[in-house]
Amino acid sequence: MEIMYSVNGVPIRLTNVLLKAIAHLVKLPKTHMWLDYDAEADVLYLHFEEKPASTHSEMRDDGIILDYSGNRLVGLTILEASHR
């Protein structure tokens, strides 16, 4: 298990299962990533740009939302993150 910190300094426990699931979902860009976790909503936000501006999103059946700017992936939203 790995602990990362959101942009607000909140610790986020990322299990190996969650890390593998993220890695297998999409080919992640080789860049910096910004994480933020909303504990009340249990949602993990993962952005590949400091201030992403998505033009459209795709909701997957597994509760993961892919955010795009044109055809470029700019972020992921993972619902029920603590259960993954």
Residue partners of 73: CB distance under 8 A and separation at least 6? 26, 29, 48, 66, 67
Domain ranges within the chain, ordered by starting residue: 2-83
pLDDT tens per residue, range 68-78: 999 888 889 99
Looking at per-residue pLDDT, the higher value among 44 and 12 belongs to 44
Mapped onto helix, strand or coil, the DSSP state of residue 27 is coil
pLDDT tens per residue, range 4-14: 666 667 676 66
**How high is the pLDDT of residue 34?**
86
Is-above-0.75 flag for pTM?
no
Q: Which residues of 30-69 are buried (b: 16+ CB within 10 A; e: fewer)?
A: eeeeebebeeeeebbbbbbbeebebeeeeeeeeebbbbee
Looking at per-residue pLDDT, the higher value among 44 and 2 belongs to 44
